[in-house]
Structure 1
């Protein structure tokens, strides 16, 4: 099946449209970060860098850490950007750009997010690390794909009943992280939990500046929800979209969170840069073990 030019958009040099990358410029293990400036904070630990490519908020560097080839890609903030980045990374790995057709032999990528997050449980303190074992998405992106078979519908229904979910919001969906990556990146002292992915930073995460909320008790209800003795632990803006798209495309994905805020306690890290840098080194070392 030849993919039309309007669907698989390539630049004049043959690179994929948004990321501006050629297939040979990415590794099979890719670290994603939201902030383009964080790419350099990861790659400074590399002993060798092969490629540096930038376009818009999408900055990529590919090189070697302790002998392992890795890529770092900045996604920008939000589920809509994850939809772009994950589809284009998959295209780079699994579509032949010359024939514009999917390859017969598909490559399974490892896609690991290193990002910041806010805890909604008082016992998960600022400056800690949290692995997203599971995800629940409020963004709606996955509903645009044929994805019913990868979702935990019972979990989502229980959550909507608990919150008396407003019908005009996108229906929540639940997708687990890759269990092989969970095991690989775990350590004593690193928290695990279910991460909520929001469509925005202020109202969608229950923050009030000058606008009233549709449900001003939403965060309290999310924090009090439990399903099979598992609670929702933290909020951010990419994880569930990553997990859903990775699973549909046949890749492995995991989200590593630097907890820089605790919404339950009203606290914020005194040095968020330090905890992110520590999580970068921790994740890199775990990936090469």
Structure 2
């Protein structure tokens, strides 16, 4: 079936609408960052840079490190942006732009998020690194797709019961990382955890400035939740959609989190840039050493 102009939207130069990329621009290993300024923090570590493109908040650099071709792209903040980025990354490798049809032979990407996060367990140290073994999404993006087969419903069902989750909110969902890629990125420096992906930074994460919260106890409910030995370890704003859409589209995804804040102890990193730069260096070394 041919994809119509309003479904597969291309720019005048044949590039995909939001990302402004053509298929040749993209490496098969893609690093995502939320902050557009962080793209250059990653690419400055490359041996070579062949491409720099951008449109809106979506900045992409492609180059090589230790003989491996890599792309780094900014998603901006939030799962709504991730829905754009993941679908367009997939289109770049799995849709024939000239004939506007889905390719018969599919290509799988390795997608690694490098991002910042706040811990919700007091034992998790500031400036430490965490791989999201599972991601729990409060955003609802995955429910717009046929996705039951990639969700771990016993975990989300237990969370809904524990928190007395309001029916006014999107139903939480849980998706697991790609085990092979996670094993490649793991070491004794890395903690594994269950990451909660929020739809905002203030009220959705239990922060209160001037507005009253619908559930004043939400943060404590998140911290106290346990499914067998699994506890929610940290909060951020992209991982659940990256995991869910990657699973549905046949890509491999892992989220690498730099813990800059601890919501239980009230601590914040004294040198957040140094901590994030160390995670970038660590992740690049792991991706290009094998």
Normalised to the residue count of structure 1, the TM-score between the two structures is 0.99
| 2: CA distance, partners of 1:95 / 1:189 | 39
Name the counterpart of 1:165.
Answer: 165
| Offset, 1:189 | 2.5
Kindly report the root-mean-square deviation, in angstroms, between the aligned alpha carbons of the 2 structures: 0.5
Name the counterpart of 2:146.
Answer: 146
After superposition, where does 1:210-221 map in structure 2 within 5 Å?
Answer: 210-221=210-221
| 1: CA distance, partners of 2:121 / 2:254 | 21
Q: Name structure 2 gaps, 5 residues minimum.
A: none
| 1: CA distance, partners of 2:17 / 2:141 | 20
SS in 1 for 2:258: strand
| 2: CA distance, partners of 1:223 / 1:181 | 27
| 1: CA distance, partners of 2:105 / 2:116 | 35
- Size of the aligned set, in residue pairs, is 289
Does residue 58 (structure 1) correspond to residue 52 (structure 2)? The answer is: no
Q: Name structure 1 gaps, 5 residues minimum.
A: none
| Offset, 1:182 | 1.1
SS in 2 for 1:59: strand
| 1: CA distance, partners of 2:31 / 2:189 | 22
After superposition, where does 1:114-125 map in structure 2 within 5 Å?
Answer: 114-125=114-125
SS in 1 for 2:135: strand
| 1: CA distance, partners of 2:75 / 2:281 | 20
How big is each residue's C-alpha offset from its partner over 1:203-261, in whole Å with a ceiling of 9 and x where there is no partner? 00000000011111111111111102110100000000000000000000000000000
Does residue 259 (structure 1) correspond to residue 256 (structure 2)? The answer is: no
| Offset, 1:133 | 0.5
SS in 1 for 2:117: strand
| Offset, 1:80 | 0.1
Q: Which portions of structure 1, spanning 4 or more consecutive aligned residues, are displaced by more than 4 angstroms?
A: none
| 2: CA distance, partners of 1:189 / 1:59 | 30
Normalised to the residue count of structure 2, the TM-score between the two structures is 0.99
SS in 1 for 2:59: strand
| Offset, 1:276 | 0.4
